[in-house]
C-alpha cells in the first residue's frame, strides 16, 4: 500500500528577466545526492501547493516569494516513491539566494543546460522551458502573402520565436511556397515554425513541427515523428488526449469571444483555469485575446497566449 502512495511536492522554477532559471544540486545526505533539480519540497497535510512552495523556498533558499504562477503538474515514479510535482513559475522574490541546506545553485538557460546529472523527473520541464510565452498564428490569407511575410520579418526582429502556419484557404502550391519562405525567415532568427495539420508538408519544408487539429488528435494512435508536436484542444477530454499522445504543448480555446466566430460559446477564464489545472504539458490560451492578456493567462495556469490577428497588428 505504501508503495502506491503519491507524495505531493511543490517545486519552483525561478526565472530571471533574461529567461535563465535556477537549478539546485541535491545535498550529499539526501537520496539522489548530487543530482540537479528545481528547488522545492513536500506539501504538508492541510497545506496548499502554493503555501508549500513559499515555505520551502524560504527554508531552502532564504527568499520570500512575491509572484508565482501555477504551471505544470507531473507524476513521476522513482524506485523508492511516486511523486506528484506541482510546478510554479516564480518571477519575483525578495532576499538573496543562500544555500540553507548546503547545496549548490546554478543559473541555466533554456535549451543550453550544462550541469549534470539532472533528476529524471525534470527533463520534461527543461523541454517546456524552451517554449516562449507568445505563440503567433499566421494570417496570410487575410493580409496577403507579401504583407504577412513583411510583418513576420518585423516580428521576428522584435523577438518572436514561435509561429504556427495555419492557412486553410491557400492552395497547395501557394501554401508550400509560403511555408518554405516562413521557415527560412524564422530559422534565420532562431525561431520555430509549426504547420497546422500537415505532417508531410512540415517535414518537406523543414518546419520544426506540427499543430494537430482536434480531429487529428482524436484519430491518431501515436505521436507524429516531429521535433515539436502541439494539439488544438477545446475541452478537458481533448487536453488529456494530447497528454496521452505525448504532445509537447496544447492550445486551449476559445477563451473569449472571437471575431471569426461571433456569438459562439467560449470557455471564459474560469473554465480555462479549471481545465488547464493539473496539466502535464504547457497550455497556451487562445481566442479573443490581446498582448495585454498575458498576465491574466499566467495567473490562470497558462504557459502563455496564442494570437492570430492581434499578432500582426502593425
- pLDDT, average across residues 59-83: 94
Structural domain of 258:
134-312
Q: How many CA atoms lie within 13 A of 18 on its CB side?
A: 5
Q: Does 296 lie in the same domain as 192?
A: yes
Q: Does 291 lie in the same domain as 170?
A: yes
Percentage of residues in the chain with pLDDT exceeding 70? 98
**CATH for 200:** 3.20.20.70
Q: Quick check: 111 pLDDT over 70?
A: yes
- pLDDT, average across residues 122-144: 97
* pLDDT tier at 179, thresholds 50, 70, 90: very high
Give the lowest-confidence range in 23-27, 222-226, 243-247: 23-27
Q: Quick check: 245 pLDDT over 80?
A: yes
Q: Does 299 lie in the same domain as 229?
A: yes
Q: Please state, in angstroms and rounded to a whole number, the distance separating the CA atoms of residues 291 and 234.
A: 21
Of 128, 157, 173, which one is at a domain's C-terminal end? 128
* pLDDT tier at 201, thresholds 50, 70, 90: very high
Q: Please state, in angstroms and rounded to a whole number, the distance separating the CA atoms of residues 303 and 171.
A: 33
Q: Does 144 lie in the same domain as 276?
A: yes
The x, y and z cell numbers of residue 29, run together, are 545526505
Q: Quick check: 140 pLDDT over 50?
A: yes
Q: Does 110 lie in the same domain as 161?
A: no
pLDDT recorded at residue 3:
55
| 3-state class (DSSP) for residue 286 | strand
Do 231 and 251 meet the contact criterion of CB atoms below 8 Å apart? yes
pLDDT recorded at residue 65:
98
* pLDDT tier at 260, thresholds 50, 70, 90: confident
Q: Does 275 lie in the same domain as 150?
A: yes
Q: Does 272 lie in the same domain as 140?
A: yes
Q: Quick check: 254 pLDDT over 70?
A: yes
Q: Phi and psi for 277 in degrees, rounded to 5?
A: -60, 130
Do 101 and 60 meet the contact criterion of CB atoms below 8 Å apart? yes
The x, y and z cell numbers of residue 188, run together, are 534565420
Q: Does 231 lie in the same domain as 145?
A: yes
- pLDDT, average across residues 170-176: 95
Single pTM value for the model? 0.96
State the chain's mean pLDDT as an integer.
95
* pLDDT tier at 24, thresholds 50, 70, 90: very high
pLDDT recorded at residue 1:
40
**CATH for 68:** 3.90.79.10
Q: Does 275 lie in the same domain as 155?
A: yes
Q: Quick check: 286 pLDDT over 50?
A: yes
Give the lowest-confidence range in 44-53, 181-190, 226-235, 256-265: 256-265
Q: Does 222 lie in the same domain as 167?
A: yes
Q: What is the pLDDT of residues 26-43, one digit of tens each?
A: 988 888 999 999 999 999
| Domains of the chain: total | 2
- pLDDT, average across residues 247-273: 93
pLDDT recorded at residue 181:
98
Of 128, 151, 167, which one is at a domain's C-terminal end? 128
Q: Quick check: 4 pLDDT over 80?
A: no
Q: Does 306 lie in the same domain as 188?
A: yes
Nearest in space to 293 (alpha carbons), one of 269, 258, 267: 269
Amino acid at each position: 500500500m505504501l508503495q502506491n502512495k503519491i507524495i505531493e511536492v511543490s517545486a519552483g522554477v525561478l526565472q530571471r528577466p533574461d529567461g535563465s532559471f535556477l537549478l539546485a544540486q541535491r545535498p550529499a545526505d539526501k537520496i539522489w545526492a548530487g543530482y540537479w533539480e528545481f528547488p522545492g519540497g513536500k506539501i504538508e497535510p492541510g497545506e496548499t501547493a502554493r503555501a508549500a512552495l513559499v515555505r520551502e523556498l524560504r527554508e531552502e533558499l532564504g527568499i520570500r516569494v512575491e509572484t508565482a504562477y501555477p504551471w505544470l503538474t507531473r507524476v513521476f515514479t522513482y524506485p523508492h516513491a511516486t511523486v506528484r510535482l506541482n510546478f510554479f513559475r516564480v518571477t519575483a522574490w525578495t532576499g538573496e539566494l543562500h544555500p540553507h541546506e548546503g547545496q549548490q545553485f546554478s543559473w541555466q538557460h533554456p535549451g543550453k543546460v550544462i550541469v549534470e546529472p539532472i533528476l529524471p523527473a525534470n527533463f520534461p520541464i527543461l523541454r517546456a522551458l524552451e517554449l516562449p510565452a507568445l505563440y503567433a498564428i499566421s494570417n496570410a490569407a487575410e493580409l496577403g502573402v507579401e504583407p504577412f511575410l513583411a510583418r513576420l520579418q518585423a516580428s521576428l526582429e522584435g523577438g518572436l520565436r514561435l509561429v504556427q502556419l495555419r492557412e486553410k484557404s491557400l492552395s497547395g502550391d501557394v501554401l508550400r511556397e509560403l511555408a518554405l519562405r516562413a521557415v527560412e525567415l524564422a530559422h534565420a532568427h532562431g525561431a520555430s515554425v509549426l504547420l497546422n495539420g500537415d505532417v508531410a508538408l512540415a517535414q518537406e519544408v523543414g518546419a520544426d513541427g506540427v499543430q494537430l487539429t482536434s480531429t487529428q488528435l482524436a484519430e491518431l494512435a501515436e505521436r507524429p515523428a516531429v521535433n515539436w508536436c502541439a494539439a488544438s484542444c477545446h475541452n478537458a477530454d481533448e487536453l488529456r488526449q494530447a497528454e496521452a499522445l505525448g504532445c509537447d504543448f496544447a492550445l486551449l480555446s476559445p477563451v473569449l469571444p472571437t471575431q471569426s466566430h461571433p456569438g459562439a460559446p467560449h470557455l471564459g477564464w474560469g473554465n480555462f483555469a479549471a481545465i488547464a489545472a493539473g496539466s502535464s504539458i504547457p497550455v497556451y490560451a487562445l481566442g479573443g485575446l490581446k498582448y495585454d492578456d498575458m498576465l491574466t493567462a499566467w495567473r490562470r495556469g497558462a504557459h502563455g497566449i496564442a494570437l492570430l490577428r492581434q499578432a500582426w497588428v502593425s
